[in-house]
Amino acid sequence: MPVQEERAFTQCGVDFHLKKPFVIGLGKPSADRLDDLRTRYDLAKFTYDGDKDLLGRDGKLQTQQGVARLREIGLLSSSDRAAAICLGGTTSDAILALEDIIQTAFGVEAASLRNAINYVSYDTATKVQFGGPLYALFAPPVRTLFEQWGNIDSKAVIATFEPTRWPPDSSAMVHTTEDYWEKYFGEGAPKNGFVVPSDLHFHVYVPTRFFKMTKYELQLAVESTEDFLEHKYFVKSEMPHFAHMQLLNQLDGMITAAP
């Protein structure tokens, strides 16, 4: 069963890095074309400035899943880029909107735009629910360590110290007084109150001449104990939405298959 995506939290960004001759050759969009696009996408702001930057913000985008929020879209001649960010839609939705706006504003067909691209970079963020705890991805010895950390009574993460023994020599990460321990972790307190692990962060390095492209990032983070217990994570990556979800489904398969 694939991971469950909460689409309301999905945000996808796409960034076209364009060839300079293509950008230089673009004409000025007419006021009528800008008004048409402003109305069609219900953009709160849509401007074309002295740097030949066309930028729209806070609009709406119709997708197969419903209406998404078009947070930002435009063609930035000053940096040879065209970019879009949408909330509640996918990378494909952002690309289609970007192609449409450039075609309408500048009279450039989608095929011509694609031929003018040097490379494309992405940003995707989702909230998903896995089929089990994320620590199932790790080897048994590591899972045992995480389980120990997750048990408050083990005092592996937080422990009390004795005023007569300073500095504390316990192996815990945090130390507190006996009174503090009894107030927050004593009788009646939840024993699974630690979120373990709360965050996973990966980098993938690729040899390239474009230094900003050498490190691709994947981050999985949980926001609350409740989300942790329900296996819900916010996931950010520098991949298009389809590849992003494909990877998460692969991880979920490993989690659910773990002994």
Is residue 7 included in any domain, yes or no?
Answer: no
pLDDT for res 171: 84
User: Is residue 92 a part of any domain in this protein?
Assistant: yes
Last residue of a domain, one of 144, 161, 191: 191
Pairing of strands 53-63, 45-48: antiparallel
Per-residue pLDDT, 193: 65
Q: Is residue 233 part of a domain?
A: no
Judgement on whether residues 18 and 118 belong to the same structural domain of the protein: yes
112 shares its domain with 24: yes
pLDDT at 128: 97
Q: What is the pLDDT of residue 243?
A: 96
Shared-domain flag, residues 112 and 62 = yes
Averages of pLDDT over runs of 10 residues in the chain (259 residues) are 91 97 93 94 93 94 91 95 97 96 94 94 96 88 86 87 83 90 83 72 81 82 88 95 96 89
Residue 204's pLDDT is what?
85
In the block, which residue shows the tokens 């709406």? Answer: 60
Domain range for 18: 13-124
The verdict on 34 and 76 lying in the same domain is yes
39 by DSSP, 3-state: which?
helix
Residue 66 lies in a domain: yes
Q: For position 195, what pLDDT does the model report? A: 66
Whole-model pTM: value is 0.87
Identify whether 143 is part of a domain: no
- Based on the structure, what is the number of domains in the chain? 2
* Same structural domain, 102 and 167: no
Q: Judge whether 251 lies within some domain.
A: no
How does pLDDT run across 207-245, given as a tens digit for each residue?
A: 777 666 678 889 999 988 889 889 999 999 999 999 999
The reply to whether 113 and 54 lie within a common domain is: yes
Here the tokens at position 176 are 């507190």
Q: Assess whether 82 and 26 both reside in one domain.
A: yes
- Tell me, yes or no, whether 173 and 111 share the same domain: no
Specify if 183 maps to a domain: yes
Q: Which long-range contacts (CB under 8 A, 24 or more apart) does 62-68 make?
A: 63/88, 63/89, 63/90, 63/93, 65/7, 65/89, 68/93
Which of 124, 142, 168 terminates a domain? The answer is: 124
Residue 112's identity, in one-letter code, is S
pLDDT recorded at residue 13: 97
Residues 116 and 163 in one domain: no
Would residue 1 count as lying in a domain? no
- What is the number of alpha carbons within 13 Å of residue 36 lying toward its C-beta? 12
Assess whether 90 and 175 both reside in one domain.
Answer: no
Q: Do 118 and 159 fall within a single domain?
A: no
CATH of the domain at 85: 3.30.310
